Structure 1
Amino acid sequence: MNGHTTALDDPVGESLRGRHAHLARRLGRAATYLPDVATFAAVSAAPDEAEWADLARLLGRGELADMFSSPATPPTSWEPVFVLDGRQMTWSASSPPRAPHAGPDIEELTAQDIPEMLDLVARTRPGPFWPRTNELGTYLGIRVHGALVAMAGERLRPPGWTEISTVCTAPEARGQGHAARLISTLAARITARNERPFLHVAEVNTGALALYERLGFQTRRHVTFRGFRVA
């Protein structure tokens, strides 16, 4: 199975330079996603003043520079917006995807479902999701009585890997195994194309962390998610 772990050291940059290049804005060595796709930005491992200036021009003054897990330090004039401890987890190569439990049908979500997807994200707050985030990869959902109650999808895509993200379930539908079924189904699809699944989780989200471990994900490294306001 493909997927050297070094590609996960800079998952945003690797995605923007590779399979998400068509969704990228670039200036010099700085890059970020198109508006309404994602807020994540990337710089080189040791960015200089000119590179930060390029990123500032890409984003615009007062806009959010979401550095994700990059350890690079922006200019001191950039205002910190958030700092969040988290983990990067990978699917164990020795653990094949587990068969999903029985339950409501899992369907592939399309652009027509975006209003419902945005509503579910607003109610569950799984992390950033914008009107064009679905263009990053495949998103799957579960409906009950016609209403979207759970979803998960593919986000960052460094070489050999696909990130599972936006795992969320409506409060009234929790405890029924929907998240586990969606994650397992996505993982099976990812491994079927000879890639490896990975994901990120905030340390404070202990419930999700326990679920991911039960499903066969292991911690690769601890990370810090950071965002800054461009001066």
Structure 2
Amino acid sequence: MLNNPVWAALSGPQACFAEAAGDAARFSPEIAPFGALRDPSDPAAWRDLAGLTSEVVLTGPSITPLAGWETTEVMAGVQMVGQSMTGVEDPDAVVLTEADVPEMLELVARAQPGPFRKRTVDLGRYLGIRDGGRLVAMAGERFRMPGWTEVSAVCTDPEFRGKGLGARLTLAVAAGILARGELPFLHTVHDNDTAIRLYERLGFEHSGDVVFASFRHTAA
């Protein structure tokens, strides 16, 4: 499942958020830009995907588009798992809801943690820390599959970095995942050494290299 987490999520616990056709699925565009194929080497799955969307982001150890698709962007990343970590609840963390989405989107625009859309908050539990009422840091849950939930959107306002807020929220989100009897995992870009060292200190371990690749359907 960790090699194909989006498919495991969309064909499993998060099927309610899926637009699916045969061996392809994607999240509703208002939730996330990600899609997935049951088997990325299967031409039929790529044809199924074309019936759903003309542009998509796929993730996995390695993805080569088949006929009718072209790669538009590739970002190298790493996957990390928290199989032996301990989460820590944070008394200052508040649960973020749909009412907080405008502030969450503003924070994402300032901090640039990766894809986050107006209904991403529907995917799981999101926590934030406020300063004087202003949302200055957040983290939450994105892909969820049997036994695993991804920690995602870990970000801090540039004015408040260096205070350990991201670490605190990562541990708090992980605590909620562990309390359900699941294990946390996450992704980050491969050259973000600062984030990787932080996650290692929190108890995450490298489980493999991945790519986040954007594709466009070009066939008539």
Q: Give distance in 2, aligned partners of 1:48 and 1:111.
A: 38
Q: What's the CA shift for 1:85?
A: 1.3
TM-score, normalization by structure 1: 0.89
| Aligned mate of 2:171, from 184, 209, 225 | 184
Distance 1:99 1:36, change over 3 A: closer
Q: What's the CA shift for 1:176?
A: 0.8
Q: What's the CA shift for 1:16?
A: 0.2
Is 1:81 aligned to 2:75, yes or no? no
Aligned to 1:217: 204
Q: What's the CA shift for 1:72?
A: 3.7
The within-5 A match list for 1:148-159 is 148-159=135-146
**For each residue in 1:135-179, what CA deviation from the matched residue of structure 2 results, as whole angstroms up to 9, or x when unmatched?**
110110010011100000000011101100000000111111111
| Aligned mate of 2:189, from 190, 193, 202 | 202
Aligned to 1:59: 53
Quote the RMSD (CA, aligned, Å): 1.6
**For each residue in 1:52-107, what CA deviation from the matched residue of structure 2 results, as whole angstroms up to 9, or x when unmatched?**
121011013xxx210122634223542322111111100132x322565x8xx210
Aligned to 1:164: 151
Q: Give distance in 2, aligned partners of 1:201 and 1:120.
A: 18
Aligned to 2:39: 45
Q: Give distance in 2, aligned partners of 1:131 and 1:97.
A: 27
Q: Give distance in 1, aligned partners of 2:83 and 2:25.
A: 31
Letter in 2 for 1:106: A
Aligned to 1:71: 62
Which deviates further from its counterpart, 42-51 or 135-144?
42-51
Runs (4+) of structure 1 moved beyond 3 Å? Answer: none
Q: Give distance in 2, aligned partners of 1:96 and 1:122.
A: 30
Aligned to 2:87: 97
Any stretches of 5+ residues in structure 2 without a counterpart?
A: none
TM-score, normalization by structure 2: 0.94
Matched-pair contact (CA < 8 Å) for 2:25–2:36: yes
Match of 1:180, SS state, is: helix
Is 1:115 aligned to 2:102, yes or no? yes
Letter in 2 for 1:165: S
Which deviates further from its counterpart, 76-85 or 16-25?
76-85
Q: Give distance in 2, aligned partners of 1:179 and 1:225.
A: 22
Aligned residues: 218
Percent identity over the alignment is: 48
Letter in 2 for 1:148: L
Q: Give distance in 1, aligned partners of 2:22 and 2:153.
A: 30
Matched-pair contact (CA < 8 Å) for 2:4–2:59: no
Q: Give distance in 2, aligned partners of 1:222 and 1:203.
A: 8
Aligned to 1:126: 113
Q: Give distance in 2, aligned partners of 1:151 and 1:197.
A: 16
Q: Give distance in 2, aligned partners of 1:162 and 1:205.
A: 22
Letter in 2 for 1:174: R
Q: Give distance in 2, aligned partners of 1:153 and 1:37.
A: 14
Is 1:138 aligned to 2:162, yes or no? no
